[in-house]
Every structure is written in C-alpha cells, then in structure tokens.
C-alpha cells in the first residue's frame, strides 16, 4: 500500500469541500493500493483544527510547517491574492501543486508566477473543474469528432442564485474574472480555438452596492473565435431558479446542451411539459460535485506521474486574458481584441 499525503492550505468555502473530497478519495483509491492522508492548515486556527478533527486529518499551525512535514502535494484553496506566494512555496519544495483558479488577481500578476513555475520545472494544476464534468467532456468529444457538423453558435451560461458578500465582490476583479472565467476556459478547451475578440455589456438591477464597488450583477459578452465563429457568455448573481450552468452548441447537423438534465434551473413555458422533474442545484458545489472529485483524483495521478497536467497555469492565464478583455469592453463600451500574449 502506498501512502500519498496531501497538504491543504485554506479551509474556507471551497477548501472544506476539497478537504471532504480528499477524505472521500481514500475509499475510491484504496483498491488501487493507495492510502490518501490529509494534512491541513488555515490562518483561522480554530476552524482549521475543527475541520481536521471532523475529517480525521492532521492539523499543522502554518504553511511552512505543513510543507516541511513532508507532503507529496500541496492543495491551495486560499483567497486569490495569496496564490502567487503559495504556488512559489510549493514549487520551491519540489512538490506538485494544485491551486484554485485563478493564478493571481490579474494577468499582469500571473505572468511572473507562470515564468517562475517554468524556470523551476514546477508542476502546477489550476482548478478549472469543469474540464472534469461528464457533460462538458461529452460535449468536447462530440464537437471534436465533427458529428455536430460545423458549429454556428455557442452559448454559455453561468448564474448564481444569490450574490456573494459585497466585500468579496470588491476584490474579485468583477463578474467576468470571477465567474465567466470558467466559461472562457471551457470554450477554449472544448473548441481548441482562441477567442480573439470580446464585446461586453452589463447591468445592475439588484443590490446597488454591487455597482458601488465597480461590479455588475449581470453581464453578457459576445465572443468571436479565431475561425470567425461567434458565441455568447452570460452570467448573473440573481438567478432565483437555481445555480444554472449550461453550454449550448448548435451545429449544422446536430445540437447539444451541457447541463440540460432533471436538475436544470429552468421550466418550460409549454403546456403539459413536466421536465425537469428534479430539484435544481443551488450551489457550484452541488452542480459540480462529480467534477471536483474527479479533479482531485486527477491531481493524485499527476503526483504519481500517471498523467499529463489537465489544467496547466498557461491555460488558466489564457482564460484570464479573455476575462480581462471582457472587463475592458464593459468599461469602455467598445469591442476589445484579446491580448493572446507570448507566454503560451
């Protein structure tokens, strides 16, 4: 039996979910001869100690002690501003790193981190979990096999039920960088194409405090791909019907939609239609439960050298470049060419 020790930094909203998933991995990977151990830390000491006790994990008082304890991989689930330093710490220790998206608060801050990783032969997987979602995987297969015909339209949707706290929004970089960045990543990953131009509009019809911190509660971006195909990426913080994440791909032969199932946060306007019959998802954790678990299993395989990096930092930065262009377009009111950069 081989022991794999994962060190988790940050047990806030998403960190607790990763902690639970890492604990659950043990049951899944045991038949493969692997024992997964979790060690964790957080500056919120009491909360971290309690989380560790609840999960039978080991608590360490600091990131330094966590790394020095001899972990096989570092999982970073702290706020975005801390990502660059923590990624560097993991790379310096010579261990593979999983870091929640994004690499840093903006593209400018991300580029030196990407260079540092390259120069030091670091292995860093970024947390774009949709790449592991069964629906998006099937859409990618169908798109790339050509069975949909030529694609005339792509429409991506990401809607939260309620906004996060305004204090969070004030430092999030805006709706496109915080939320739609997942759609920008998945569109690049799925199509294998670059988004070259973005034209964005937004609105503020909910809590005006969101506008006061310079953000919008709802936005839509028209994106143009490098082959001329067009698509839309829309997002809202006020989707009372449920957490709604979908992607519609329409082709000359066939069309399909990711996220159209019994839990879709939509009802039909047509009479005598009882679809969807299930309860809508309420949060990202519910919607992507399977994807987050598969993502962490993939990180273990990356540590073991059994797979390619499923989400390298260069890809995450490329998605952030599109988000930056969308944010600029929102502010200027004009279409913006995406800076495709040279670090890819």
Q: Which residues bind ligand NAD (CB under 6 A)?
A: 9-15, 41-44, 63, 77-80, 82, 100-101, 127, 129, 284
CA distance between the termini of the chain: 39
Which CB atom, from 12 or from 149, has the smaller least distance to ligand NAD?
A: 12
Residues 6+ apart with CB under 8 A from 141: none
In the complex, least distance from residue 285 CB atom to ligand NAD, rounded to whole angstroms = 8
In the complex, least distance from residue 222 CB atom to ligand NAD, rounded to whole angstroms = 24
Q: What angle do CA 102, 190, 173 make, to 5 degrees?
A: 25
In the complex, least distance from residue 59 CB atom to ligand NAD, rounded to whole angstroms = 12
Which CB atom, from 2 or from 13, has the smaller least distance to ligand NAD?
A: 13
Query: Token pair of 106, please?
Result: 């903006």
Query: Token pair of 283, please?
Result: 């949060």
Which CB atom, from 81 or from 331, has the smaller least distance to ligand NAD?
A: 81
Residues 6+ apart with CB under 8 A from 214: 170, 174
Which CB atom, from 148 or from 219, has the smaller least distance to ligand NAD?
A: 219
Which CB atom, from 56 or from 79, has the smaller least distance to ligand NAD?
A: 79
State how far the Cα of 35 lies from the Cα of 21, in Å rounded to an integer. Answer: 14
In the complex, least distance from residue 166 CB atom to ligand NAD, rounded to whole angstroms = 14
Which CB atom, from 14 or from 139, has the smaller least distance to ligand NAD?
A: 14
In the complex, least distance from residue 198 CB atom to ligand NAD, rounded to whole angstroms = 20
In the complex, least distance from residue 101 CB atom to ligand NAD, rounded to whole angstroms = 5
Which position's Cβ is nearest ligand NAD?
Answer: 12
How many Cβ atoms from other residues are within 10 Å of residue 149's Cβ?
A: 12
Which strands make up the sheet holding 97-100, listed edge to edge? Answer: 58-59, 34-41, 2-9, 73-76, 97-100, 124-127
For 17, 128, 202, 263, the CA distances from 222, given in Å and listed in that order, are 33, 22, 12, 27
Which CB atom, from 77 or from 200, has the smaller least distance to ligand NAD?
A: 77
In the complex, least distance from residue 227 CB atom to ligand NAD, rounded to whole angstroms = 28
In the complex, least distance from residue 15 CB atom to ligand NAD, rounded to whole angstroms = 5
Q: What angle do CA 67, 109, 64 make, to 5 degrees?
A: 15
* Residues counted in the chain: 344
For 67, 236, 264, 296, the CA distances from 25, given in Å and listed in that order, are 21, 33, 27, 8
Which CB atom, from 45 or from 252, has the smaller least distance to ligand NAD?
A: 45
Helices of type H across the chain: 13-29, 45-55, 63-68, 83-92, 107-119, 134-145, 166-170, 175, 181-191, 208-212, 284-287, 289-303, 313-332
């Amino acid at each position: 039996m081989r022991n794999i020790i994962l060190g988790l930094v940050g047990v806030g909203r998403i960190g607790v979910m990763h902690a639970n998933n890492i604990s659950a991995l043990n049951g899944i990977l045991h038949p493969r001869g692997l024992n997964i151990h979790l060690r964790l830390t957080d500056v919120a000491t009491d909360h971290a100690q309690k989380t560790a006790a609840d999960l039978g994990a080991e608590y360490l008082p600091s990131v330094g002690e966590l790394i020095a304890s001899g972990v096989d991989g570092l999982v970073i689930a702290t706020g975005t501003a801390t990502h660059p330093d923590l990624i560097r710490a993991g790379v310096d220790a010579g261990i593979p790193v999983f870091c929640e998206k994004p690499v840093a608060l903006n593209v400018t801050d991300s580029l030196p981190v990407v260079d540092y990783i390259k120069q030091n032969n670091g292995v860093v997987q970024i947390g774009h979990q949709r790449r592991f979602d069964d629906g998006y995987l099937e859409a990618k297969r169908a798109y790339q096999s050509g069975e949909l015909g030529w694609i005339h339209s792509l429409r991506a949707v990401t809607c939260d039920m309620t906004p996060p706290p305004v204090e969070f929004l004030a430092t999030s970089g805006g709706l496109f960088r915080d939320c739609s960045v997942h759609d920008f990543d998945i569109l690049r990953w799925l199509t294998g194409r670059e988004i070259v131009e973005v034209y964005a509009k937004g609105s503020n019809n909910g809590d005006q405090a969101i506008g006061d911190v310079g953000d919008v509660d709802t936005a839509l971006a028209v994106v143009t791909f490098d082959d001329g195909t067009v698509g839309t990426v829309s997002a809202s913080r006020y989707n009372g019907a449920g957490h709604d994440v979908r992607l519609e791909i329409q082709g000359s032969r066939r069309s399909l939609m990711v996220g159209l199932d019994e839990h879709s946060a939509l009802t039909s306007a047509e009479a005598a239609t009882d679809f969807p019959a299930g309860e809508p998802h309420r949060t990202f954790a519910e919607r992507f439960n399977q994807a987050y678990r598969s993502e962490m299993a993939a990180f273990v395989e990356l540590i073991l050298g059994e797979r390619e990096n499923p989400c390298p930092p260069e890809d995450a930065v490329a998605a952030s470049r599109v988000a930056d262009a969308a944010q600029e377009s929102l502010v200027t009111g004009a279409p913006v060419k995406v800076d495709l950069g040279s670090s890819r």
